[in-house]
Structure 1
């Protein structure tokens, strides 16, 4: 017993507690305040922190399906979405989770975003966007288009939002989703050569305000709009040709992009980019999502239970690992 305890302590990072050893692949994260946050992932796992991400405790979601993201509007009320039309809701900080009825029960639900405790959106397969105006008591199909996968949704206010996904398909609303407009993305066959032509797959979008938004995706591709989606332009970040799974902004000039073995930070609205230091280094792992920790900093989560926290509010500072994880997990 004693030797086992010593062995466990030896594999944990400096300053970590035994209850922070997480080995599940993590896909979603939400911090409604600087101290209180949630992460979720494979096999329906959910963990909660009350100290800004330093330590984590598991919560029982009642499901074993993969949860792809969570969104909390405050430290009590939150939602999580995932495989096979799974929508979970808690009204007591995750002490209990209850399923909400999904209008597309066989679909994979990719992302969830709430602008208030009542109004939210979910993006999913077949270019479906789901909507609720009563906290998820009922969900309805607000929009659907061609048979592509939407991966991410973000709103800057109750009216202005974007959704992005497969082949660069990008949709924009200026009226809270009453109307969604296709702004970018394509998939077609060249009838002269027979080749398939398609836009860059997008994994993540962040709406900064009614006019500005960022998106990131495959092959190190980053794009942004400065004119409310009238035009989207590629941004040269110096990122390698790898999957960029997440983009986040503090809406004050700091932008972070992250993915497979890559994290880049801009502190000047995307004009210049630098890689922050990670301690210990994250050489072979993938980061699936980055989020703000209230107003106190940033968090990165990913494969094999990886969790890193930025050192303070500046994402270009050193990031420190707070959990033990499987290095190189895919």
Structure 2
């Protein structure tokens, strides 16, 4: 009986991307890309995903979301009520404790380099010093907020459980509830291209679209028939990434199946644009793939009048 190939095992373990990695988040700033995974692993690339460096965070940790700030810094939301921050110049990831008992699910960095995290009990946390201190707002509803996006310096949108939609027109100083998305909608992902036009994806593959800043929503057919866990804009095209490694692309007002030509056996959870014709997608089973897009670009639909 031949001896086990321990050298091969060690070589496999030395690779930055492991087959068991479950990537849940991506963010990019220029050619720098950060991927966050369950199990407390962060991968960083300085060349658009061509090469990766692996970083193991202090346990317990599990990265749920990653955000890139305009100043070049990054932040990663940890399930264990922590945020990890990487300075614009690189270095080590610094841990910041979150002052809340609520589970947080989503993270973003606004145009003023402030961090925003949202989650259970309609909790909204913000930090103007990269997690050194936090302002905590609990709206008191028994609902989970699942997405947060700043469209520009003043206007932002949060979506959540039971069809919750909150908007801000003053940079997050106040949040106004909008009519709920019907059907107790649970959004996995949301993407607004401006203050008026947005999309949400949810359970059973449902995709909805608003033209009035989240006040009303219409269902759009999803030909994949599977949930889309991430919505992504590349140049002027919109894409959905979901279960079974499937993707859809919006053409005009219709979503169509997008064949990316790669063997991705598990679900896709996140994506970032690398340039106008390529994206990086990530998910379970170590999926971390660059996808090159067709040359023809169909502009994402917008309305001339934005919500006010």
Tell me how far apart the structure 2 counterparts of residues 117 and 22 of structure 1 sit (CA, whole Å): 37
1:277 aligns with 2:260: yes
Q: Deviations over 1:106-133 (max 9, x none)?
A: 3322111112353231111111111123
Could you tell me which of 148, 159, 167 is aligned with 2:162? 167
Q: Helix, strand or coil: the match of 2:136?
A: strand
8 Å contact kept, 1:143–1:180:
no
Q: Deviations over 1:60-88 (max 9, x none)?
A: 43343211011122584111112131111
Quote the residue 1:126 is aligned against.
121
Quote the residue 2:200 is aligned against.
215
8 Å contact kept, 1:83–1:107:
no
1:247 aligns with 2:231: yes
Q: Which structure 2 segments of 5+ residues have no match?
A: 298-308
Q: Helix, strand or coil: the match of 1:167?
A: helix
Q: Helix, strand or coil: the match of 2:49?
A: coil
Could you tell me which of 298, 302, 309 is aligned with 2:283? 302
Say which structure is richer in strand. 2
Q: Helix, strand or coil: the match of 2:285?
A: helix
Could you tell me which of 6, 22, 26 is aligned with 2:23? 26
Q: TM-score, normalised by structure 2?
A: 0.84
The structural deviation recorded for 1:100 is 2.0
Q: CA 1:75–1:294 in structure 2 vs 1: closer, same or farther (change >3 Å)?
A: farther
The structural deviation recorded for 1:169 is 1.7
Tell me how far apart the structure 1 counterparts of residues 131 and 68 of structure 2 sit (CA, whole Å): 13
Q: CA 1:98–1:291 in structure 2 vs 1: closer, same or farther (change >3 Å)?
A: same
Quote the residue 1:265 is aligned against.
249
Tell me how far apart the structure 2 counterparts of residues 141 and 206 of structure 1 sit (CA, whole Å): 24
Tell me how far apart the structure 2 counterparts of residues 54 and 126 of structure 1 sit (CA, whole Å): 40
Q: TM-score, normalised by structure 1?
A: 0.79
Greater RCO (Cα-Cα under 8 Å, separation 6 or more): 1
The structural deviation recorded for 1:305 is 1.5
Q: Which structure 1 segments of 5+ residues have no match?
A: 12-16, 188-197, 317-330
Quote the residue 1:237 is aligned against.
222
Tell me how far apart the structure 2 counterparts of residues 184 and 67 of structure 1 sit (CA, whole Å): 31
8 Å contact kept, 1:78–1:90:
yes
User: Once superposed, which parts of structure 1, at least 4 consecutive aligned residues long, lie more than 3 Å away?
Assistant: 1-9, 17-22, 184-187, 312-316
The structural deviation recorded for 1:244 is 1.9
Tell me how far apart the structure 2 counterparts of residues 5 and 179 of structure 1 sit (CA, whole Å): 58
